[in-house]
Structure 1
Amino acid sequence: MLALLAISLWITPVWSQRSETVIANSLPALGDGSDITLSAERQLGDRIVRELYRDPDYLEDPILDEYLQSIWQPLVKGAQARGEMTPELLERFAWKIFIGRDRSINAFALPGGYLGVHLGLISVVNTQDELASVMAHELSHVTQRHIARSIGDQARMSPLLIGAMILGMLAASKSTQGAQAVIVGGQAMAAQSQLNFSRDMEREADRIGYGVMSEAGFDTQGFVTMFGKLQQAAGLNDRGSFPYLRSHPLSSERIADMQARQQLQTPRPANEAKDIVQAIMSARARVLAQPGVGALRAWANEATDTNMETQALNKRIGILYGAALSLMQLRDFSAARALLPRLRLALGGHAEALRIVQLLEMEMSFKENDMRGALRALSSTTQLPSSQWQRPELIFVAQASARLQTASPSIETSQLLAKSVSALQAWVLQSPQDAQAWQILASALAAQGRNLASLRAEGEAQLARMDFGAAVDRFKAAQDASRKNPPQMGDHIEAAIVDSRLRFAHGILREQLLERQVR
């Protein structure tokens, strides 16, 4: 989906209340639209994503994040291996994924290498390969510079017109009357229609995405089966639950091309382990989309249906996991926990799926505010060297140990907290744009009484979310703490880093001010 079209399906009505002038002032000057540089496209994407970070529908879920990354990173490497992604493009663009808490079936590319995925899409795909096909297609829109080329075709499109277009599409996605109220002189809708990807671009994204998907090790049959889902939705007179179809209309030519390509491939056997994990993630996406109490109860009751046992293993696992998670959301913890033995028994030796069930057990303890129970659920993880912890475990162990140490300090908890802090520090060193990890690290450092380091981590979290004003506030608070409090071991290093990061954040704010003044 075209980036500027796509964002209207994610941002809440609150944003639509702003004037187009305000939004235009937040957009970079694109100059001659026929020559959009990598820097200008990244800058445009950053401006849009900055708004998405503040949106209530932006979802940070360590388990789904990890799953999407397990698909996204191989695709990025596959694009590099095929020569679709130049070293300059890899360095200049963000290549980050966002999850939108939206039940519609959609994924979209944004300028500058950002990819948005709706929970609705994750919930309907049957295999990891189907999800990979959509992500590979969107990735290819970015690597082939389709967004820049689409904007570039509109040489006279000003930032103000782009702002009006975004507002119009945003309101249209929420309310027809709202759209009529904000579209200025019909210009925004005209711009929207001109910015849709061309048929040639769609075919190119199919072709390149198919190759990238194959290079990354995914089964390209997922492209064909995903097209089948979309074709069926189109034939059933889609009423808006498949917004992906509005910007990616399927043609018989596109479908035939994918089917012809696939006939040349040797069929692969089904991968039961991957299909089970996808079934779990689909169930998780459905529940986290906040469908309402009625839907949660219906999914919880599915675990009691005697016909469930006749279904394929991955379907049964998805039903049981969805039922347990639904019951947890309904705060019926005893019933939720009662399903865990059934899940583990059905899973047998599927190690990755068993790990996800272990994380679910930990989540239940979190919901009950039982931090000791949460840590017990992850005891097999905490006994490992922290270098072997995966990101969800890093996040959850740090949260639980910090809260437990604050409420009921002990030597054992203090040691585990120190281990968690060390592991998180190593993680953010490798992943400095991980805002959630920085925020959890800040809480863990505060539980250790390391106030300066905690404030610095809060500032880094705000930088990662591109909230530069908030970052300045946190770094200034860190400077004040450094001056007023006796120094602890390592504080002189933290203070020097804080000074440097404050100058960096101030510099970006000055650049943004200059951009607005120029326009």
Structure 2
Amino acid sequence: MVNLPLASRAHAQPALPTLGDGLDLTAAAERKLGDRIIRELYRDPDYIDDAVLLEYVQGIFQPLLAAARARGELGADIDERFAWEILLGRDRSVNAFALPGGYFGLHLGLIGVVATRDELASVLAHELSHVTQRHISRLISQQGRQTPLMIGALILGALAAAKSPEAAQALVVGGQALAVQNQLNFSRDMEREADRIGYGLMQPAGFAPQGFVAMFDKLQQANRINDNGSWPYLRSHPLTTQRIADMQSRIAHDAPRPAPPTLEHAMMAARARVLMRPGIDVWRQWLAGPQDAGFATRPQPERATAWYAAALSAMQLSDWAAARKALAGLQQAAQSDAAALRQARLLGAELELTAGAPKAALALLDAAPEGKDGRAASPRPELLLRAQALLALGDAAAMAGPLQTRTTTHPRDAAAWQLLAQVWQQQGQGLRAIRAEAESQVARQDYAAAVDRFKAGQDLARRSGGAADYVEASIIDTRLRAVESLLREQAAER
């Protein structure tokens, strides 16, 4: 079932769309509903825009999305209208969920427990299939035929203020028993369909279908030990013997064996666990991990995981010397794997930047195969790190072009817009800087804040008189009118 109840801890109660006679939501209406929910998730303190983890997850999600298109599972209407965006949350619980309009949530707790890319792909394929099969629309329509109260409970559950399932469940107390039962029955059907469709995406997307079975084994084991609340995925996606048997029967006898865990995945799982903020004592424990007796004889993935966790934990503790020592161990453990070496290099650049050594961070980024010449086409993690390092050195003029390219191709990249604003401000281009700040708010769908910044740009242009950039001022005027229209639409929904 789509896991709406634990999607967020925001308190807002958005207005619901008009459901008319209970027919399925249109793609446009579902996207609007998703936008309302996502605005609250962006404000959630657990929301994290981690460029490294997000790139890794997108590297798994995008092939699944392409496979869904190729197999005809993705209709043209939702392909064009839906967001297809994944939001990461620091939450330590093992959870993932689909939201209306092609938005997805993924907790770091889940990334931290999956052992392979295939297991993570199985979860994303399952959630993607909930969306491509319009399960959310069907579920809301089903509730519309029963009672508006249940529709409200579904949306309010997505914005529940508490982590615990009890808080979200309290929102549905008083709903009609028949409606609840019908929802549960419908959800079981949706789960089986999402299993079947998601399984079919795995091999065409380049993943071993056995990832589904391995993930089911993890869920089944957690189910046996009496879930204590850290696996909410089990509550929203009830694991039945029928689902397990069906998935096992789908594995062909001649199916290719799954690839062993990669060093890169082991490092990304370690990153997720550290960024969940488990606490100072746990960070210290991970920092000391490579000092354990017999550490040198452990398998390479285990050593790489431990070194990565130690380095990143030391960074959280501001112990730069220990972080650099752990990074050296990581680089040695990863030297035979290009993808793992890149992750070690990114971690090193992040370390030096955080430690106040931007020149050292740049040196690590320049040591990449593409070096300085590849910065215009750099992946997002390298691009953002390089921009931050050059800003710290007061020499970021060269980053205006690459960041403009990024925001043109990815206009919803709020972090890129914010860095572009800083670059332009550093170059004395205040009007452009204000517009970029406004666009970063638009990317987060905070239209009120964006309007404020655009108006500040208009004020600056008027005060500048003839010295103002006429083209930039005209762009600000046009964008202000467009965003004010979006703000009025948003207000009308309440």
CA deviation vs aligned residue, 1:82-120 (integer Å, no higher than 9, x gap)? 100022211010000000110000000000000100000
Tell me what 1:508 maps to.
486
User: 2:305, 2:285 → 1: CA distance?
Assistant: 14
Partner of 1:86: 75
Q: Distance in 1 between matches of 2:23 and 2:418?
A: 40
Q: 1:71 aligns with which of 60, 69, 75?
A: 60
Letter aligned with residue 34 of structure 2: G
Deviation at 1:158, TM superposition (A): 7.0
Compared with structure 1, are the counterparts of its residues 321 and 70 closer, same or farther at alpha carbon in structure 2 (3 Å cutoff)? same
| In 2: Cα distance, 1:305 partner to 1:292 partner | 21
Q: How does 1:342-421 map to 2 (within 5 A)?
A: 342-381=329-368, 383-405=372-394, 413=395, 417-421=396-400
1:302 & 1:210 partners in 2: Cα distance? Answer: 37
Residue 28 of structure 2 corresponds to which residue in structure 1?
Answer: 39
CA distance in 2, matches of 1:314, 1:486: 62
Deviations 1:390-442 (A, max 9, x none): 1011111111211220xxxxxxx3xxx22222111111111111112111211
Shift of 1:373: 2.4
Which of 156, 168, 174 is the equivalent residue of 2:164?
Answer: 174
Alignment of 1:180-329 (within 5 A): 183=171, 186-187=174-175, 195-196=183-184, 198-268=187-257, 270-271=259-260, 275-329=262-316
Name the residue aligned to 2:40: 51
Q: Which amino acid aligns with 2:82?
A: F
Task: Give me the whole-angstrom Cα distance separating, in 2, the residues matched to 1:455 and 1:70.
Answer: 33
* 2:144 alignment partner AA: A
Distance 1:186 1:309 in 2: 59
2:474 pairs with one of 496, 509, 512: 496
Q: 1:445-480, CA deviations, whole angstroms, 9 ceiling, x for partnerless residues?
A: 111111111111111111111111011111111111
AA aligned to 2:2 is L
Q: Is the 8 A contact 1:168 1:188 kept in 2?
A: no
- Asked whether 1:483 is paired with 2:472, we answer no
Unaligned segments of structure 1, at least 5 residues: 406-412
Give 1:214's aligned amino acid: Q
Give the Cα–Cα distance (whole angstroms) in 2 for the partners of residues 493 and 67 of structure 1.
Answer: 38
> For residue 497 of structure 1, what is the amino acid of its counterpart?
I
2:266 aligned counterpart, secondary structure: helix
The alignment's TM-score, normalised by the length of structure 1, stands at 0.89
* Secondary structure, aligned partner of 1:155: helix
List gaps (5 residues or longer) in structure 2: none
Q: Is 1:330 the equivalent of 2:317?
A: yes
C-alpha change, 1:306 and 1:53, in structure 2 (3 Å) is: same
Distance apart, 1:370 and its partner CA = 2.2
Query: Counterpart in 2 of 1:408?
Result: none
* Separation in structure 2 between the aligned mates of residue 429 and residue 184 of structure 1, nearest angstrom: 43
The match for 2:139 among 144, 150, 165 is 150
Paired AA for residue 311 in structure 1: R
Do structure 1's residue 471 and structure 2's residue 460 form an aligned pair?
A: no
* Deviation (angstroms), 1:162: 3.9
CA distance in 1, matches of 2:88, 2:283: 21
Equivalent residue letter for 1:507: S
Deviation at 1:506, TM superposition (A): 0.7
How big is the shift at 1:159? 6.6
Contact map agreement 1:3 1:147 (CA 8 A) in 2:
no
Matching residue's letter, 2:192? R
Q: Which of 97, 100, 109 is the matching residue for 2:89? A: 100
Alpha-carbon separation, structure 2, partners of 1:104 and 1:276: 24
User: Partner of 2:429 in structure 1?
Assistant: 450
In 2, the alpha carbon distance for the partners of 1:389 and 1:360 equals 16
- Aligned-partner Cα distance in 2 for 1:269–1:106: 23
Moved more, 35-44 or 114-123: 35-44
- Give 1:482 shift: 1.7
In the alignment, the residues of structure 2 paired with residue 84 and residue 389 of structure 1 have an alpha-carbon distance, to the nearest angstrom, of 32
Deviations 1:264-290 (A, max 9, x none): 442336256xx1111000100000000
Aligned counterpart, 2:114: 125
Q: 1:100 to 1:494 in 2, by over 3 A?
A: same
Give the letter aligned to residue 76 of structure 1. L
1:496–1:396 CA distance, 2 compared to 1 (3 A): same
Distance verdict in 2 for CA 1:24–1:51, change over 3 Å: closer
- Residues in 1 aligned to 2:193 and 2:90: alpha-carbon distance in whole angstroms: 29
- Return the offset for 1:147: 0.6
- Work out the CA distance in 1 between the residues paired with 2:196 and 2:165: 36
Aligned partner of 2:413 in structure 1 is: 434
Distance 2:324 2:466 in 1: 46
Tell me the equivalent position of 2:4: 4
- Structure 2 vs 1, CA of residues 488 and 250 (structure 1 numbering), >3 Å: closer, same or farther? farther
Change (3 A) 1:145 1:6: farther
1:270 maps to a residue whose letter is A
**Structure 1 pair 279/509, CA: closer, same or farther in 2 (3 Å)?**
same
Q: Distance in 1 between matches of 2:372 and 2:173?
A: 64
Q: SS of the counterpart of 1:130?
A: helix
CA contact 1:71–1:132 (8 Å) conserved in 2: yes
Task: Quickly say closer, same or farther: Cα 1:172–1:285, change in 2 above 3 A.
Answer: closer
Q: Match of 1:450, as an amino acid?
A: Q
Residue-by-residue CA offset, 1:235-282 (whole Å, 9 max, x unaligned):
11111111000011111121112212113442336256xx11110001
Q: Give, in whole Å, the separation in 2 of the partners of 1:161 and 1:451.
A: 49
- Residue pair 1:34, 1:154 contacting (<8 A) in 2 also: no
> Which residue identity lines up with residue 2 of structure 1 in the other structure?
V
Whether the 8 Å CA contact 1:183–1:189 is kept in 2: the answer is no
Q: TM-score, structure 2 length as denominator?
A: 0.93
Secondary structure in structure 2 of the residue aligned to 1:291: coil
2: distance between equivalents of 1:446 and 1:238? Answer: 51
Equivalent pair of 1:456/1:478 in contact (CA under 8 Å):
yes
Check whether the contact 2:403–2:420 (CA below 8 A) recurs between aligned residues.
yes
Greater than 6 Å deviation, 4+ residue runs: 157-160, 188-193
Structure-2 residue corresponding to 1:340: 327
Aligned residue-pair number: 490
The answer to whether the Cα contact below 8 Å between 1:33 and 1:157 also exists between their aligned partners in 2 is no
Is contact 1:24-1:159 (8 Å) kept?
no
- Return the alpha-carbon distance in structure 2 between the equivalents of residues 81 and 168 of structure 1: 34
